[in-house]
Structure 1
Amino acid sequence: MQALTLDKLLSYRNDISIPDVAAGGALIKLRLAGICATDLELVQGYAGFSGILGHEFVGTVIAVNDDKHRDWLNRRVVGSINIGCNSCEVCRSDGPEHCLNRKVLGIRGKDGVFADYFSLPVTNLYAVPDAVPDQAAVFTEPLAAALRVVKQIASLPITEVAVVGPGRLGMLIAKVLSLIGYRVTVLGRSTSSLALPKQWQLATGLTTEIPDNCFDCVVDASGQAAGFAQALRIVKPRGTLVLKSTFAANAALDLSKVVVYEINIIGSRCGPFADALTLLAQNKLPVETMIDGQYPLSEGLAAFAHAAQAGVRKILLQSAKLPADCPVETG
């Protein structure tokens, strides 16, 4: 099968074996996958991952390991990305997201979805409602991550939020917060980067023009150390800073303000897939307007180059349509 693999360098290959399906697992045929900022950072060396990249997807289940999961066959699905050990106290009490022994799809110890076929445990799968087209369903994972912010700040006395970074994830975070009722301002480095947030009817501004210490809550979704520095600069004393960015750079950061002004820092990662699918089915987020290109897997290197360009939001990858009688072998 085809796949985009990372072994220090990103490569396209068409000689990768179709994965075996472990007990409790499903084999999934890719329909669409999204390239996200984390994928771009992994190529730059973040987390030291090697293997098949990719974790944002919509696909079709074509095989399962045991008969009790046969009702998943031929269903259109998305899937959560964390695979816990299922035996530690963290897994038993909180779930797999913070299991110290977890695997993470396309990020940590588990081949990802930039391939014709990939596998996931059935417990990670969510059926996609008929009302949600593929080009919207592929946004389920980042939308779930955006909804995680909503849950994390819900109990705090916050009414106004700045989102630093008008990119893929920043847009979703800003929109879901605005739908909940927060007053949201999307901040970017250029006026051109703010055109789509304005189209989404979100308030906008240039980060460099925002005075120091003026927002109760700031979400950093910039994906850059410089974005974090700006987010810290504009958060009020005793305010809340939510961190959504992961990046490969080892930049020096001045954290003295965190101490002196008692800034509350919240790390934020994965969120609720079921809620994300419900929101997509309600058609309240124009996610498809973020798509800037769609490539077959065979042009995956060009797709990554496109995704890495400044101002580009979502680039999608599409598996080749194989003949209906193409044999699929599972272990």
Structure 2
Amino acid sequence: MQALLLDRELSYRTDQPIPKPEAGEALIEMRLAGICATDLELAHGYAGFTGILGHEFVGQVVEVADANDRHWLGSRVVGSINIGCRQCPTCLTTGPAHCPTRRVLGIRAKDGAFADFFTLPVANLLRLPDHVADETAVFAEPLAAALRVVEQLQDLPRGEIGVLGPGRLGLLIGRVLALAGHRVTMLGRSETSLTQPRRWGLQAGLAADFPESGFSCIVDASGTASGFTAALRLLRAQGCLVLKSTFVADHPIDLSPLVVKEIRLLGSRCGRFEPALDRLSAGDIAVETLIDGVFPLSAGPAAFATAARPGVRKILLKR
């Protein structure tokens, strides 16, 4: 089958074996998949992953390992990406996202969705409503991650929140925070980066133009060390910094403002898919406007190069 394989460098392959679903798993035919910032970082060596990339997907179930799961056959699905042991206290209480031995689709010890076929536990799958197009549903995973921020900040008084990095994920975060009643300001590095936030009706401005200590809460979705530094500058004393980025710093970062300002640092990763599908089904987030290109798997390396260009939003892959 076709696949985008990461083994020190990213390559397009046509000789990869079709995986066989193990007990409890489904074999999924990829219909559409999205490239995100984490994929770009993995391709540059983040976390030392080797294998097939890809975790944002829409697929169709073509085979199941267990007879009891045959009702999934033919279903158009998305799926949560964390695969836990289902036995440890973490899995049994809060779920697989923080299981000590978890595998993560296309990120950690589990081949991903940038291939003709891939496997995932049936327990991770969610059927898609017929009226939700593939080009909409492919945003289920990043939208779930954005909604996780809303969930984590639910006890924060409704107020002004700065979202640093108006890119693929930052825009979704800004939109869902605004829908939750917060006053959101999208913070970018260039005027060009602020065009889409304004089209979505969000307040936006250049991060460099805002005074020091102007925000009580910042969500850093910039994916850069410089963005993290800018977030620390913009936060007022005893503010909250939500870190929604995976990046490899290529130089030391001054963390003293965390102590001096007594900043509360909150990491944020994956979210629940059910609320994301509800939002996508309702159609109140224009996710399709973020799509800047669709490439075949055979042009995967070129798709990655395009996705890495400044200002590019979402690049999709199809079979």
When normalised by structure 2's length, the TM-score is 0.99
Cα distance in structure 1, aligned partners of 2:317 and 2:236: 41
**1:326 maps to what in 2?**
none
Matched, 1:316 2:291: no
- The answer for the alignment partner of 2:10 in structure 1 is 10
SS in 1 for 2:12: strand
Does the 8 A contact of 1:158 with 1:217 survive in 2? no
SS in 1 for 2:120: strand
**8 Å contact 1:290–1:313 — kept in the other structure?**
yes
Cα-Cα RMSD: 0.8
Amino acid at match of 1:285: I
- Residue by residue over 1:183-203, the C-alpha shift from the partner in whole angstroms, topping out at 9 and shown as x without a partner, is 000010000111011100100
Instruction: Note the C-alpha offset of 1:216.
Output: 1.0
Contact 1:82 1:105 in 2 (8 A): yes
Separation (CA, whole Å) in 1 of partners of 2:3 and 2:89: 35
For the 8 Å contact 1:28–1:62, the answer to whether it is kept is: yes
1:190-231 per-position Cα deviation (integer Å, ceiling 9, x unaligned): 001110111001000001111110111100000000001101
How far apart are the structure 2 equivalents of 1:261 and 1:119? 46
Give 1:275 deviation, angstroms. Answer: 0.4
Residue ranges of structure 1 left out of the alignment (5+ in a row):
320-331
Shift of 1:158: 4.3
Aligned residues: 319
- Give deviations 1:85-115, integer Å, cap 9, x for gaps: 1121111111110011100000000000000
Cα drift, residue 250 of structure 1: 4.1
Matched position secondary structure for 1:110: coil
Deviations 1:56-84 (A, max 9, x none): 00000011111111111111100011001
Partner of 1:196: 196
Q: What residue number does 2:163 align with?
A: 163
Letter in 1 for 2:113: V
Q: How far did 1:237 drift?
A: 0.6
**Is the 1:42–1:248 Cα contact (8 Å) retained in structure 2?**
no
Question: CA shift at 1:157, angstroms?
Answer: 2.6
In the other structure, the counterpart of 2:135 is: 135
Counterpart-to-counterpart distance in 2, 1:158 and 1:100: 34
SS in 1 for 2:155: coil
Tell me the equivalent position of 2:175: 175
Shift of 1:248: 2.4
| Conserved? CA contact 1:158–1:216, under 8 Å | no
User: Per the alignment, in what secondary structure is the counterpart of residue 252 of structure 1?
Assistant: coil
Could you say which residue in structure 1 is the equivalent of 2:206? 206
Identity in percent: 61
1:303 aligns with 303
- Mapped to 2, the partners of 1:30 and 1:126 lie a distance apart of 15
Task: Give the secondary structure class of the aligned counterpart of 2:249.
Answer: coil
Q: Which runs of 5+ in 2 are unaligned?
A: none
Name whichever of 49-58 and 255-264 sits farther off. 255-264
TM-score for both structures, normalised by structure 1: 0.95
Matched, 1:269 2:260: no
Conservation of the 8 A alpha-carbon contact between 1:217 and 1:240: yes
Whole-Å separation in 2 of the counterparts to 1:100 and 1:152: 21
Separation in 2 of the partners of 1:249 and 1:106?
A: 22
Deviation at 1:174, TM superposition (A): 0.1
TM-superposed deviation, 1:40: 0.3
| Runs of 4+, deviation exceeding 4 Å | none
Alignment of 1:82-101 (within 5 A): 82-101=82-101
- Residues 44 and 248 in structure 1, CA contact (< 8 A), matched pair in contact too: no
The AA in structure 2 aligned to 1:236 is R
Range with greater deviation from structure 2 (248-257 or 54-63): 248-257
Q: Give, in angstroms, the shift of residue 249 of structure 1.
A: 2.7
Measure, in 1, the Cα distance between the counterparts of 2:140 and 2:94. 21
Q: Deviations 1:257-284 (Å, cap 9, x if unpaired)? A: 1111111110000001000000000000
| Alignment CA distance shift 1:63-1:90 (3 Å) | same
In the TM superposition, residue 251 of structure 1 has moved relative to its aligned partner by 3.1
